[in-house]
Structure 1
């Protein structure tokens, strides 16, 4: 069954608000299919767990209509808005109070009841997987969200390359238009969006994303907005890109120029903070800043790096950003299970051994890692530079908004970020060029 895309278009022009001293600007958004100016990301698909103690068990959708000639049939769903799912299932009694509070803590999430619907919404997309008579794995997706798969068309997921990279044309030609619900002007709205599903044969993993982004205009400048790396339609983490006139069609914005939520964007010589997207109004919200760039903290190049403090994992001595002033500092976020992080160790060792320690220092921030494994790796790989574990007391990972590893920030002697996410030879060349100045 095929659906026409119903774009959300907020009618009107940008408006300014005054709220608690904030100067806010709301920009109407227009949805576009494809990945646009962003590099696409993919998320993994999981079928429902059969564990009796699964805390999500009561939230599973009850679906019928999978092809009768399939074998090894399993069911699951894809989220369009995880926060709405959790909120409504807590109200319905499908999630315990203890689990609800644990999720808020682990996600650092305070539910915004004005943005969430007490009335249940269809924010999950059901699917089934199974082998056809030839033994080939097929899928069928509940495109019209009626919990009946008999009126949907089975398909073999697109075969992904090992890199997982996709073009707009490939994704959209293999996408399914799916139906979901969202609040709009405080009312339940039925919408559709493209859903892409692919198979990464190397890991026998099934992946998905929603190839859809939004466009806004402000002061003659064009902006693009991406929701959660295309892995949801909630815009919980709304990333903004300022689109230069010189950017050619099908070219992607450099990831280091993307403006994350609460980061800053410069428009016509004035600074604004990316407050995020109000999906209820379908607007991008910017806050005009009274401070200059030199007065603001951010994880962006050209801004002051956030202050931090923690204990060295090996010596237990206190380490703070204030004690590092006057040096170039490489702030390296990593995890012990991260392959690319481990591949960087020889380059970090070279810098540690050869760079002038009076001018340069490496501070590694370890997150989401078993401490016994960290201890073993420090010994095995002869890691001699400072390691700080990001935990609930220092919250360094949260302060810097780290979403993946490795993530690095090169900070100058005045505490300003001069580069980010440099690796390998590029990192070495940058450091040694700075040491010569």
Structure 2
């Protein structure tokens, strides 16, 4: 069932993208502000409409490990739950962390986690420490606790701590229902949990809808969050929907032209923090404002010509940010700027990422097939643990140049990759023309572009 968005909602936050000149804007006139044309202007848009239903990504679930799989150091910051159900066996406890950085930061500032542990988590998440301006050292209830177990007849039961008081005695024990598919059934069997978030100024109360389901093997639990926020905004002469899913690992939003309903939206409509979108020929930058994405910031230049220039950003249609480093095998300097005039396929991969490793033979096939005078392949590696990168690259038969992202000489500013594999195909002018090409899609795309093959 498609999620309906009533056209009767008329709250429109207006952002003038120079279809009206800044000088004629009464908002600025009334405040008697002189506009420096070398600077930018921003507007805050409130995503104040909350819908119970699946957002742009559709019906997707996440799986997490139960608490017993985590280290003692990790568990120091987890809430100690009271009144676990004694009528069940094979008890498993789960903790969903809605904002990882806030969770680890507040526990670090309160002396629960060591500085080393916190910095390790920051490194793993590929988060910049400068992002701590969006955090608070006060305790924010941004987690959801769940416990599950088996009855005497092996029925899986679970409890969600819906009021977030770290006590299961006042919550309902529910049987796990299998294979729910209909939208209304999923919503009916979801539960609303009291949560908190930091909006940049203070801690706010909110509700988060969660659905507990089964994995495809029917052996474990998975979790979905059928809830999203939206607002409408006028950009030039068009009205757009800005949509934020309630559980987004990277605070991404979706922006599409106004429509009465949608089911799944294309990933090309997804905009990550600090990326751009094109509205009527002008480039607008999106920035998150709060942890819960109930407010977003849209920024433009006050200079018309600047707004029409293609920005530098790691997204399709934009100029690829430069990166540089040294090949781990031969020590040669690698810089994207040196490959202007040919296509470049960039693969961000991790040694702890099975899908990355599975993809290596497909990349190798394309690397051996297409002419080096027209396309180059470059890997940027995230190495975990004590993995020897040179040995790893040789064992996996990675024949194309590879940069170790952890080296201090490596520069990848502007990419902010926090999931692997992530790939970019860059055209000879330096513009990104595709992302996340894998398997046969990579080969087909290169053939479609007319890149010549080796003899």
Mapped to 2, the partners of 1:292 and 1:102 lie a distance apart of: 38
* Match of residue 404, structure 1, among 397, 403, 419: 419
Map 1:169-208 onto structure 2 (within 5 A). 169=184, 171-183=186-198, 186-202=201-217, 204-208=219-223
Higher relative contact order (CA 8 A, sep 6+): 2
Aligned partners of 1:25 and 1:285 also within 8 Å: yes
* Match of residue 148, structure 2, among 129, 139, 149: 129
Q: 1:396 to 1:211 in 2, by over 3 A?
A: farther
For residue 348 of structure 1, what is the aligned residue in structure 2? 363
Superposition deviation, residue 115 in structure 1: 4.4
Mapped to 1, the partners of 2:373 and 2:115 lie a distance apart of: 52
Q: 1:373 to 1:40 in 2, by over 3 A?
A: farther
Mapped to 2, the partners of 1:373 and 1:293 lie a distance apart of: 46
Q: 1:180 to 1:395 in 2, by over 3 A?
A: farther
Q: 1:170 to 1:344 in 2, by over 3 A?
A: farther
For residue 102 of structure 2, what is the aligned residue in structure 1? 84
For residue 75 of structure 2, what is the aligned residue in structure 1? 57
For residue 6 of structure 1, what is the aligned residue in structure 2? none
Mapped to 1, the partners of 2:335 and 2:247 lie a distance apart of: 35
Q: How many residues align?
A: 417
Q: 1:172 to 1:128 in 2, by over 3 A?
A: same
Mapped to 1, the partners of 2:176 and 2:95 lie a distance apart of: 15
For residue 263 of structure 2, what is the aligned residue in structure 1? 251
Q: 1:145 to 1:433 in 2, by over 3 A?
A: closer
Aligned partners of 1:186 and 1:280 also within 8 Å: no
TM-score by length of 1: 0.82
Mapped to 1, the partners of 2:352 and 2:218 lie a distance apart of: 17
Aligned partners of 1:37 and 1:224 also within 8 Å: no
- SS across alignment from 1:55: helix
For residue 155 of structure 1, what is the aligned residue in structure 2? 174
- SS across alignment from 2:265: coil
Unaligned runs of 5+ in 1: 1-8
Superposition deviation, residue 38 in structure 1: 2.4
Aligned partners of 1:223 and 1:240 also within 8 Å: no
Mapped to 2, the partners of 1:114 and 1:346 lie a distance apart of: 42
- SS across alignment from 1:27: strand
- SS across alignment from 2:321: coil
Mapped to 1, the partners of 2:219 and 2:322 lie a distance apart of: 42
Map 1:239-318 onto structure 2 (within 5 A). 239-245=252-258, 249-278=261-290, 282-289=294-301, 290=303, 291-292=306-307, 294-318=309-333
Mapped to 1, the partners of 2:205 and 2:229 lie a distance apart of: 18
Aligned partners of 1:256 and 1:420 also within 8 Å: no
Mapped to 2, the partners of 1:155 and 1:397 lie a distance apart of: 47
For residue 42 of structure 1, what is the aligned residue in structure 2? 61
- SS across alignment from 2:102: helix
More deviation, 98-107/20-29: 98-107
- SS across alignment from 2:252: strand
Q: 1:304 to 1:34 in 2, by over 3 A?
A: same
* Match of residue 33, structure 1, among 26, 35, 52: 52
Superposition deviation, residue 319 in structure 1: 1.1
For residue 376 of structure 2, what is the aligned residue in structure 1? 361
Q: 1:296 to 1:186 in 2, by over 3 A?
A: closer
- SS across alignment from 2:210: strand
* Match of residue 430, structure 2, among 381, 401, 415: 415
Q: 1:340 to 1:158 in 2, by over 3 A?
A: farther
CA-atom RMSD in angstroms: 3.5
Aligned partners of 1:225 and 1:239 also within 8 Å: no
More deviation, 119-128/304-313: 119-128
Mapped to 2, the partners of 1:184 and 1:419 lie a distance apart of: 34
Mapped to 2, the partners of 1:203 and 1:328 lie a distance apart of: 45
Does residue 145 (structure 1) correspond to residue 145 (structure 2)? The answer is no
Aligned partners of 1:175 and 1:196 also within 8 Å: yes
Deviations 1:83-108 (A, max 9, x none): 33333333433223443444445543
TM-score by length of 2: 0.79
- SS across alignment from 2:367: helix
